[in-house]
Amino acid sequence: MARTGYELVVVANRLPVDVVLEPDGTTSWRRSPGGLVTALEPVMQTTDGAWVGWSGAPDHEAEPFDSGGMRLVPVPLSRGEVEQYYEGFSNDTLWPLYHDVISPPEFHRTWWDAYRRVNRRFAEAAAQQAGEGATVWVQDYQLQLVPAMLRELRPDLRIGYFHHIPFPPFEIFTQMPWRRQVVDGLLGADLIGFQRAGDAANFIRVVRRLTDLTTRGPVITVPGEDGARHVRASAFPISIDSARFDELARSEAVRERAREIRHDLGDPQVLLLGVDRLDYTKGIRHRIKAYGELLAEGRLQVPDAALVQVASPSRENVEAYQQLREEVEVLVGRINGEHGQIGAAAIYYMHHSYPPEEMAALYLAADVMLVTALRDGMNLVAKEFVAACTDDRGVLVLSEFAGAADELSGSLLVNPHDIDGLKDAIERAVTMEPREMRRRMRKLRRRVLEDDVNKWSQRFLATLNAVPHAPAGGR
């Protein structure tokens, strides 16, 4: 097998760049958005590393190339595989199942076959890039079979896997017909990382119930031909490049843009902000409903209050997402029709993405950040908002069902299903005394600025490197 000898190989569903097909038939690459890219790019740029992933375009093949200090290795997917492995099994089976069945998952054998086939292709690509005894770090739920496949191909490797979304309780997980295959796939890793201690505990319980393997605390003993391996399952809460957001928010250009945003919105006394992918797990409808009721009850009034909701497009080919967009837009239109005034809307709704500079300005302009996820692995938006609040001004209303709730104890925690409780929390945030606001925000900022993405990746990789490594055995 050809070896290019990379010390660290990251395997993710997507490359950190998207392919752009130009009108003249040529292709170029542009940096892709997303928390995973933000989290891993700094690590890759300081290591002799390769990143294995899909380009984002179906039926597109490209040779490995260098970009941004990384070796990028595109894995091709056919249009049918995108529909079955990605839109199907990953986003219509695993995503709703792992998010507490907020939307019902669909189970199709053809989707599972595509998922298994694509996972094999990713494992083979990673095996080709990794040097002898290298570290391979597999990312997220689209690639849960890769660790075991990779171990079969390259038992000399040290394999880590990080699960960015929630891992469900046993009673939910076991609805999946291929539950044992997924568990076996994950157990190919030496270290399995989760966002929350509860997620790691859920996985350990699944292993106990579905297998006869021995578990001791976070360690699972997996027997093999060359002796037993010890697999660790632990929490490693992910973070952001907080220094970058802090620096952005301190720049005069961003501060001026924040002032412009408030002015363009009519200089409301209180500006509330929601920033999400347009996803049914984010609780966007719950927050808009709560805000609409506060207006209807006279507890908030237009133009004194305004809500900016950024809902970036997401999985637009999946029916559940198309339906959600219609529901949100109808709700926004109704509230604006009932409470808006000429020159002052109740809700400013944007269905597109923004660059980091504009996001930092929005965070800086906002008085109250609303993160009302019904279920979320972490929620990096909450941390970005805190990192951008350089003047210690602003209140974070945060769902207790987001992983960030375990860390961000200076926020106002809410159950987004409790609309009355959510309304009370929003009103409390709007009327909070400046002294309490500063105290809470200083506490939040200490945590976010200290526990940044570099600390997350270093902690995961250090733990992985400390796991006793099983011998390669005869290959």
Q: Which residues participate in catalysis according to the annotation?
A: 164, 376
Which residues lie below 8 Å from residue 135, measured CB to CB, with a gap of 6+?
7, 8, 9, 157, 158, 159, 160, 461, 464, 465
Report the b/e string of 175-191 with b at 16+ CB within 10 A. Answer: ebebbebbbbbbbbbbb
d(C-alpha 415, C-alpha 274), whole Å: 16
What region, left, alpha or beta, does residue 154 occupy, with left being phi > 0 and alpha being psi -120 to 50 degrees? beta
Pick the closest to residue 190 from 230, 219, 154 (CA basis).
230
DSSP one-letter string for 400-412: TTBGGGGT-TTSE
Decide if 411 contacts 443 (C-beta within 8 A).
no
Q: How far is CA 86 from CA 66, 82, 111, 209, 318, in A?
A: 26, 5, 9, 28, 10
Reduce the DSSP state of residue 28 to 3 states and report it. strand
Which residues lie below 8 Å from residue 185, measured CB to CB, with a gap of 6+?
119, 144, 145, 146, 147, 148, 149
The greatest distance separating any two alpha carbons of the chain, rounded to the nearest whole angstrom, comes to 76
d(C-alpha 361, C-alpha 257), whole Å: 6
Q: How far is CA 254 from CA 49, 259, 261, 356, in A?
A: 33, 9, 10, 10
Q: How far is CA 172 from CA 100, 101, 398, in A?
A: 7, 8, 25
